[in-house]
Amino acid sequence: MEKYDVIIIGGGPAGLTCGITLASSKGKFDFTENRRYLIIYGDYSDLDKALLNNVPGIKKGTKGEDLLKQIRKQAEEFENLKLKKGKVVKAEGEKGSFIVHLENGETYRSDYIVIATGFHSFDIQGLNVEVVPHKKSPRQGKIMIKNENGKVREGLFVAGLAAGVPTMFACASGSGAEVACDILSEWAGKTVVVHDVPETN
């Protein structure tokens, strides 16, 4: 059974940003040098049907499906980050010993899990999370997972719309980065962020 330091369930803006942020920390901190990450994603993201006109740095009129492909390609450039298409049906365990079960029978182990499955529904068995009405959705019937600043309990985090952030790309993406920084900070034993600065001669 393959083992990862963090498994991210969901490959939309939050999940991909979380994975990219974690993976990009290699070379910046000694404690991330040998860590590995896995994003498990399905067939659909809300970003697929979006038309983006108000995201800083993104050209007005960009199709969400095109941006999603671009971000996924960016994620695939990191050797310590693997993307796996599949459906998670069950996840169990606790910090340091989670087991994630896919519909096709594959299983993976991880120290941490990040849920980034959106706000439509949550049907993964075994995690015993509390699903509540989404507090910031403009549409009725949407859900979120009860959390405290992205943390559900030790080792289990939630990001993006599933965490209850407003239903906009920038909010979901930022939530994924924040959760990644929180996990990195746990490993460091202090607050850390992943800053990229130009090299100087």
Please give the span between the terminal C-alpha atoms of the chain, in angstroms, as a whole number: 45
Q: How far apart are CA 143 and CA 59, in angstroms?
A: 30
In a domain, 197, yes or no: no
pLDDT at 16: 98
pLDDT at 138: 79
- Domain with residue 67: its CATH number is 3.50.50.60
In a domain, 149, yes or no: yes
| Number of domains the chain is built from | 1
DSSP β-bridge partners for residue 37? 6, 81
Report whether 12 contacts 173 (CB < 8 A).
no
In a domain, 171, yes or no: yes
SS3 16: helix
State which residues form the domain around 17: 2-188
> Which regions of the chain are under pLDDT 50?
none
- Looking at 56-166, list the stretches that DSSP marks H as alpha helix, in order from N- to C-terminal side: 64-76
In a domain, 194, yes or no: no
In a domain, 180, yes or no: yes
Q: What is the DSSP letter of 125?
A: B
In a domain, 199, yes or no: no
Question: What is the C-alpha R_g of the chain?
Answer: 16
pTM of the shown model: 0.95
Tell me: the pLDDT tens digits for 168-200?
999 999 999 999 999 999 999 999 999 877 765
In a domain, 200, yes or no: no
pLDDT at 201: 53
